[in-house]
């Protein structure tokens, strides 16, 4: 019950890492807002949390639209009376070489990954301040600080997420709001599968190859990222802000 009495918003919580975080937070005592664009997936996660004895509210949210973010945050505050934790996990996965990336691709990847996160922070900020402080956890990536072939739009956006985290940590420290990031490596999720399919690769072969890049010789799981988010969201990380936690099985150790 490390989050007992806390209210947490998790964006992109309808699958993958976001689902893992939402479910773990609920098991640890938090009331969870499942903010998700995919209505079917979001409702299923919220229903699963409730069936397991937790408390969850689903709210359909496109984080790239400020009006929808504001409506989601206000619904959360009305339902649960406070907001203590925000996890910016919603992401657009846009890849390619610079000559192949369209203007609409740039707008989408930054609109969700960077601007969408800023919308969520701005909307939640009055409630976090009213609560006397809180925790914001941004899901960045090892792609925030390494180069990868034909990953330009995605990596550029995730690099921006890391810098957004540092600057927010500095600006919000007087409000006792901690801001940190998690940088996952290769994690087995539906988003990973979509990327593999998009590239025309074999899934099982790709899993093995992705795992070989890590010292631990395997891909990670959403639950392993969720435990990192749990630490940063909890009072156990009360002296941690402006940091990024790399969870990649040792893939980027050198």
3-state secondary structure of 31: strand
CB atoms within 10 A of CB 5: 10
Percentages of the chain per state (helix, strand, coil), in multiples of 5:
50, 15, 30
Q: What is the largest CA-CA distance in the chain?
A: 50
Burial of 198 (0-12, 13-18, 19+ CB in 10 A): exposed
Active site residue ranges: 154
Going by C-alpha positions, the residue among 90, 116, 120, 113 that lies closest to residue 17 is: 90
Pick from 94, 74, 19: nearest CA to 52: 19
Angle between helices 117-130 and 66-80 (to 10 degrees): 30
Q: How many angstroms separate the CA atoms of 183 and 190, rounded?
A: 18
């Amino acid at each position: 019950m490390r989050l007992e009495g806390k209210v947490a918003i998790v964006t992109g919580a309808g699958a993958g890492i976001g689902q893992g975080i939402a479910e773990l937070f609920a098991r640890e005592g938090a009331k969870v807002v499942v903010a998700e664009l995919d209505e079917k997936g979001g409702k299923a996660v919220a229903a699963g949390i409730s069936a397991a004895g937790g408390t969850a509210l689903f709210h359909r949210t496109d984080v790239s639209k400020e009006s929808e973010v504001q409506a989601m945050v206000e619904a959360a505050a009305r339902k649960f009376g406070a907001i203590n934790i925000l996890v910016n996990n919603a992401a657009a996965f846009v890849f390619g070489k610079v000559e192949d990336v369209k203007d609409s691709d740039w707008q989408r990847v930054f609109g969700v990954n960077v601007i969408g996160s800023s919308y969520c922070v701005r909307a939640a900020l009055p409630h976090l301040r009213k609560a006397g402080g809180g925790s914001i956890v941004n899901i960045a990536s090892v792609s925030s600080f390494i180069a990868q072939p034909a990953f330009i739009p995605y990596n550029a956006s995730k690099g921006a997420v890391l810098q957004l985290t540092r600057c927010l940590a500095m600006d919000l420290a007087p409000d006792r709001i901690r801001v940190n990031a998690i940088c996952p490596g290769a994690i087995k999720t539906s988003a990973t599968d979509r990327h593999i399919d998009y590239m025309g690769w074999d899934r099982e072969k790709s899993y093995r190859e992705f795992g070989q890049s890590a010292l631990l010789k395997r891909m990670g799981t959403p639950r392993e990222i969720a435990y990192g988010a749990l630490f940063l969201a909890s009072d156990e990380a009360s002296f941690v802000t402006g940091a990024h936690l790399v969870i990649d099985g040792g893939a980027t150790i050198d």
